[in-house]
Amino acid sequence: METQALAESGCLEADGENGVLVRIHVQPRAAKNGFVGLHGGAVKLRITAPPVDGKANSQISEVLAKLFQVPKSAVTLASGQQSREKRFRVAGISRAAALKTLAAAI
């Protein structure tokens, strides 16, 4: 995906000097993990975990940490605990670097 289109979608916001907020639309119980594009101003992410006992949120944190090459502790759920629409805070990465990485993954 083109970085400019991703930037204009609003799915990634700067959060302070060294962090970002990522809007995620999650599809649990998928056959495999992976980003599949944009969905209404959010990045659509398919995950294999079920939406039970925080398993989906934990798996999303792991996927984002691996994607952005930050420790899992740098990824926290900001909102959407029990919703398909979530916002995750990722510390330790600039918005520009996050856009480039996310654009390559979609």
CATH code of the domain covering residue 21:
3.30.1200.10
Q: Mean pLDDT throughout 8-21? A: 87
Domain hosting 21: range is: 3-105
- Please state whether beta strands 43-46 and 34-38 pair in parallel, antiparallel, or not at all (unpaired): antiparallel
Top pLDDT among 15 and 27 is at 27
Residues 65-81 pLDDT 10s:
999 999 999 999 999 99
> Tell me: the pLDDT tens digits for 31-57?
999 999 898 889 999 999 999 999 999
The total number of structural domains in the chain stands at 1
- Residue 101 sits at φ, ψ, to 5 deg, of -65, -45
Q: What is the pLDDT of residue 81?
A: 92
Mean residue pLDDT of the chain comes to 91
Average pLDDT over residues 3-23: 85
Residue 10 reports pLDDT greater than 90? no
